[in-house]
Every structure is written in structure tokens, then in C-alpha cells.
Amino acid sequence: ENKLKTVANDNENIEINKEQVHIPPPDGGWGWMVVFASLIASLLSDGVIYSYGVLTPEFIKHYNLSRTTVGWMGSILVATALAVGPLASILCKKLGYRVCGVIGSIIAAISFSLPYFYSELWFLILCSSVLCGIGFGLVYLPSIIIVNVWFDKKRSLAMGIAVCGSGLGTFVMSPLMEYLISTFGWQLAMLVIGLILLLMIPCCMTYTNVKSKSLIEKEAERNAMDSNDNTMSATECEKIEIPSNEGEYLMNKYGIGTNYTTECEIIQIPEETEQCEEKKSFIEMMKDFIFILFLLSNILSSIGFNAPYMYAKDRAILQGMSDSKGSFLISSIGIGSCIGRIGFGYLATFKFVNRFHLFNATIVLSGVSLIASWIMTSYISMIIYTLIFGMMGGAFVTLTSVILIDLFGLINVDTAFSITLVVQGISVLVGPPIAGFIYDSTLSYNVPFAACGGCIALSGVIMYLAYFSKDFRKKTFK
């Protein structure tokens, strides 16, 4: 229940809405278990998504497909995982983060395994792209949001650790898929990977909400609060934070003063601008100029972001590299992603670092690395550009939800993040197929990779337009 009973000056029972009392994220405790579980969940889900390119040559040979067609298969998987964000947001609110994640885990594991039993192309696309994407989407959003719920001051670091599972997954799943395919064939490999995905279930079971109780709630439950004028007596109290406007509300309406006896600590009343956030509707978010620029930036970055994962192996094979060397390039992106997610996530926790500028810089550099891949023809140089791309890409993926909270507040992150995922999903849908079409037309990956890099770099430039707008100055941005 949202209503709590307590005692006023005249000893009458009163009700206080517990949403009026703001409990800050604990920044630790069980939160670190949540971070670890989120890391493993993203290792498995993102590992499969970003290693999907290992299957690309197998699909091309088995079904005699064009690069454009296999590009659509990978795009549908990523797009569905992102576009299901609003559904995941609704399920999180109705059923909780834990249930939403478990449902998604079951859907993803079963759907990725089914092509082993029936391998028609339409069924393969339905299961491994559409249904599996839905499952991953139901795991992804709660895995991100729950970390933000548990952390505040250490949020960037916690997010960096949690989402580095994506990079680790790319590093681990890519060679694992390559081994399974070369040993058992791609169909049995998908069955084995599907069974491994069941490990996401115990991870999602840890996604419990913060259960901190306010002073008022604890004392109401124990019925141990005595009142006399502006003085309260309590045997056990804890230090809590109440936004300044709510503190004044409690004091004025119920006569709750700040003089406590025995072991009770004084209530702290921080600045209203730091703790009080305005809940915005979908329409209000879509009218926000900064948010519109953020979405436009995400459209461009999402168009270019997934092509290297889909085609890096195929590009290397066409340049005379072995299958194993081509697969390692995808692992190289994963290694760089791990470094970028943890390193830049930790860097963003320092007060002297402007997270907005850091976010934009990593986007631009990520795009530049893809453009530079045009001249990198040796295997060592390919490893270098994939490492840089993974590092910068991992950094801006890590900082995305953090920037959303900085700009729009924790109270609006569910709405803002789900809208962002839909936009990313639509954009991702067209990126790899366009890159594949350009290859089919030019018989070279140089142009599509450079075009993807240009889109990503331009997305970072667009976000700088937000910095010079008047609306940006109104944000409580750190």
C-alpha cells in the first residue's frame, strides 16, 4: 500500500503517502549482486546478438542468400530486441523487473533452439530473429533499469560493470559459436546456445526493487511513536532524506518538528532541485527539444552501429583471412567494448568529468574508427580498428542511460529509455541491410563501413547542438 499510518500532535491517526518520502538509492549492498547478475544476463543475450555475424557465412552457404538478406535477419533480431522496450516497460511496472526478465529468458532460450528441429528459412527468421529478439528485449530493459534503481553516486561505474557483459559476451560467444559450428554444424550449435541462454533465468531472479523503509513507515508499523507538541520519541530511527518541499509539507500539516529524543537522528532536507523531479508523460517528452535531438542522434548512430558486428567476419574472409581469424575480429570488438564500458564508466564517476562531452566524444571517435578501416587491410590493423570501435562504442552505450538520467531525471528514465529503444530498433532495422546492399552493388565493404562510420560520427555532432540550446541550460546536468 502507498498509504502509511503515523501519529500527529494530538495523537490522532493520520495517513501519509509514502511516495512523498524520497529514499535515495543505497549505492551498494544487494545492488552489487544485481550488477553481477545484469552482467551475466547481458553477456548471454548481447553475446548472441553481436555474435550473430558468425552465423552469417553459414546462412549464406546453406540457403544461398545474398548479403542484403542475411543483413535483414540480423537487423530484425536487434530491432525487435530494442523495439519491444515499451512492452518491457509496461511489464516491469505491472509484474516487476524480475518477472519480466524471466519471461524474456524463457522465450529467448526456446526460440533460439527451435531451428534445430525445423530449419526452413521462414521458421529460422521467425524464431532466431523475431521471437528471440522479443525475449532479449524483455531481458535487456529490466537489466539496465534495475541497476539505475540501486545506484546513484556510483551509477556510472555500476552501469559500466553491468553492461560490460555485452563486450564479454561478444568475446566469449563468438569463438564458442565458431567452435560449435565447426564441430557440430550450425543447427546443433543453435540448440546448445539456446540451452545456455536458460542461465539468464537465475540472473533475472535477483532483480528485486530497493526495499528501504522511511522513518515514518518503520515507526508506523511498530506503533511505537509518541508525540508531544513538536517532539517525537522513538527507540529506533534511521537517517533519511526528504525533499525540501515534502519536508515542509510534513512539518506544516502534521506538526512534525525536527526535535527528536533518545537515539533518533535528525532528518536531512536536501535541495529540492537535487531530489524533486517532475514526472513527464510521453507527449511531454516528445515536446522536449533536447530529447528530440537525442532521438535524432540515436537514429544515425543505430543505423551504423551493427554493421561491423554483422560483416566484420565476412569482410575478413573475402580479404583472404581464415574463418577463425574473421571470428576473432568480432571478439576483438567485444574486448574493446569491455574496456570502454568499465573504463569510461569509471571515468564518468569523477566530478571533474563532464559526462555529456565524454558521451559525444566517444560517439564521434567510434564513427571515425569505422571510416579509417578503409585503409586498414592487414590483419593487425583490422584488430586495431575493431578494438577502437568496440572501446568507443561500448563507452557511449554505457553512458546512454546515465545521460538520460542526467538530462531528464531518474523518475523519467523508464519513459525516455523505452522511447529511445523503439527509435534505435527502427533505425537498426535498416542499417545492416543497407550496408549489405551497398556491398552487393560495389562488391566491396569499404564504402558501407565508411558510410556507417559517417552516420555514427554525425550523430555525435548533432548532440553538440543540444549543448548550445537554451533548453540545455535548464537541465540539472552534472
Beta bridge mates, 259:
231
Residue 207 reports pLDDT greater than 80: yes
- Alpha carbons 74 and 430: distance in angstroms, whole number: 10
Q: Residue 221 is placed in which grid cell? A: 508499523
Domains defined for the chain, CATH in brackets: 3-11+212-275 (no CATH), 30-210+277-473 (1.20.1250.20)
For the segment 350-405, what is each residue's pLDDT rounded down to a tens digit? 888 888 889 889 999 999 999 998 888 889 999 999 999 999 988 888 788 788 88
Give residues with Cβ within 8 angstroms of 7, minimum separation 6: 13, 14, 225, 226, 227
Listed in sequence order, the DSSP H helices in 322-354 are: 323-347
Residue ranges with strand state E in 293-428: none
Query: How does residue 308 score in pLDDT terms, banded at 50, 70 and 90?
Result: confident
Q: Return the axis-axis angle of helices 323-347 and 30-50, rounded to nearest 10°.
A: 150
Residue predicted with more confidence, 1 or 328: 328
Residue 149 reports pLDDT greater than 60: yes
Give residues with Cβ within 8 angstroms of 384, minimum separation 6: 376
Give residues with Cβ within 8 angstroms of 29, minimum separation 6: 150
φ, ψ dihedrals at 260, nearest 5°: -120, 150
For the segment 427-445, what is each residue's pLDDT rounded down to a tens digit? 888 888 888 889 888 888 8
DSSP 3-state percent helix, strand, coil across the chain (nearest 5): 75, 5, 20
For the segment 51-107, what is each residue's pLDDT rounded down to a tens digit? 888 888 888 888 888 888 888 888 888 888 888 878 888 888 888 899 999 999 999
**Residue 22: how many CB atoms within 10 A of its CB?**
18
Contact 349/157 with Cβ under 8 angstroms?
yes
Contact 225/233 with Cβ under 8 angstroms?
yes
Which DSSP string do the residues of 452-474 spell out, in sequence order?
Answer: HHHHHHHHHHHHHHHHTSHHHHT
Please compute the mean of the pLDDT values over residues 119-142 and round it to a whole number. Answer: 91
Give the pLDDT score at 240.
Answer: 41
For the segment 27-48, what is each residue's pLDDT rounded down to a tens digit? 677 888 999 999 999 899 988 9
Give percent of the chain above pLDDT 90.
24
Three-state SS at 372: helix
Which DSSP string do the residues of 148-201 spell out, in sequence order?
Answer: HHH-STTHHHHHHHHHHHHHHHHHHHHHHHHHHHHHH-HHHHHHHHHHHGGGHH
